[in-house]
Chains A and B, each alone.
Chain A
Amino acid sequence: DQQVKQNSPSLSVQEGRISILNCDYTNSMFDYFLWYKKYPAEGPTFLISISSIKDKNEDGRFTVFLNKSAKHLSLHIVPSQPGDSAVYFCAAKVGSSNYQLIWGAGTKLIIKP
C-alpha cells in the first residue's frame, strides 16, 4: 500500500514554461513533506520542504503547495530550465520520534529546449 503516490512517471515541459509535479498521500498523520531531485548516477539532493502548518513555501524558482484536505502537494518550477531535467521524489515524514521518510516512486521531468 503506497502511502505516497506520484502518479506521473514522467513529464515533458518546454523550457521557460511552468513545470508542475504532483504528489498525493493517504496518511493524515504526515506532518512534513520534502522534495528531492535526483540526477543519474547521483544520490537525491534536497530541494524544498513544507510543514503541515503551512500551505505554501517558496524558494527561488521552486514553490511547493500543500492542500491538506485533499492530501495533495505539488511542486512548481518557474521558469523551467534544461538543468531541471531530473527525477523528482516527494517524501513525507511519519511520526516524531521513530522517524521514517516515506517516498513516492518519482517523476522524471524532461525539459525540452
Chain B
Amino acid sequence: KAGVTQTPRYLIKTRGQQVTLSCSPISGHRSVSWYQQTPGQGLQFLFEYFSETQRNKGNFPGRFSGRQFSNSRSEMNVSTLELGDSALYLCASSLSGPQADTQYFGPGTRLTVL
C-alpha cells in the first residue's frame, strides 16, 4: 500500500505571495490532518478534514486554509506569506480520525519564505 505523499517537497516563496501544498492520503483513509513543524516548537495542529468537511481547527490565522476533495486528497493554502511561515508542513492520514487510530505521516513540504 502506498504511503502518504506530499507535493512539492521543497518550496521557496517571498513575503506576500501565496502557496498551495498538496497531500494524498493512504488509499481508503478519509481523514487528513495538517501540521506545522518549526524548530523547538514541535508539531502545531492546523486542521483536520474528513469526507470533504473541516472537522477540527487549530489556532492559526485565517491566512491558513484547506480543503479536501472527494477522493480524500487535501490541499492547504497559505495566503500573504510571512517570514514566520517558514516551516515543515506535514500531513497525516488515518482511517476515520486521529482519535480512533494512529496517523500515518507524509514526508512533509519544506516551505522557505524569503
Q: Which residues of A contact B48 (CB under 8 A)?
A: 99
- Verify B42–A104 contact, CB threshold 8 A: yes
User: Complex formed: what's the CA distance from A41 to B92 in Å?
Assistant: 15
In whole angstroms, what is the CA distance A104 to B43 when docked?
Answer: 7
Q: Which one of B12-20, B62-70, B71-79, B104-112 is at the interface?
A: B104-112
The A/B interface has a contact count, at CB < 8 Å, of 59
Tell me the chain B residues, 74-114 only, with Cβ under 8 Å from chain A. Answer: 90, 92, 97-99, 102-108
In the bound complex, residues from chain A placing their C-beta under 8 Å from that of B99 are 32, 93, 96-97, 99
Report the nearest A residue to B47, measured CB to CB: A100
Task: Choose one: B90, B98, B106; the contact of A99 (CB below 8 Å).
Answer: B98
- A43-B40 contact, Cβ under 8 Å, with A34-B102, A99-B99: no
Q: Are A106 and B107 neighbours in the complex by a CB distance under 8 Å?
A: no
B51 shortest CB reach to chain A, Å? 15
Q: How many residues of A contact B (CB 8 A)?
A: 27
Asked if A41 contacts B90 (CB within 8 A), the reply is no
Q: Is the CB of B97 within 8 A of A43?
A: no
B23 to A: closest C-beta gap in Å: 11
- The answer to whether B107 touches A42 (Cβ under 8 A) is yes
CA distance A100 to B56 in the complex (A): 8
On whether the beta carbons of A46 and B108 are closer than 8 Å, the reply is no
Residue of B nearest to A45 (CB): B105
B32 within 8 A of A: no
With known contacts A99-B56, A99-B97, A105-B40, A44–B105 Cβ distance under 8 A = yes
A74-113 residues at the B interface, CB under 8 angstroms: 89, 91, 93, 96-106
- List the B side residues contacting A45 at CB < 8 Å: 104-105
> How far, in angstroms, from A4 to B43 measured CA to CA in the complex?
11
Interface residues of A in 9-49 (CB under 8 A from B): 9, 32, 34, 36, 41-46, 49
- CB–CB B90/A43 < 8 A: yes
Contact with B along A33-69 (1 / 0, CB 8 A): 0101000011111100100000000000000000000
Interface residues of A (CB under 8 A from B): 4, 6, 9, 32, 34, 36, 41-46, 49, 89, 91, 93, 96-106
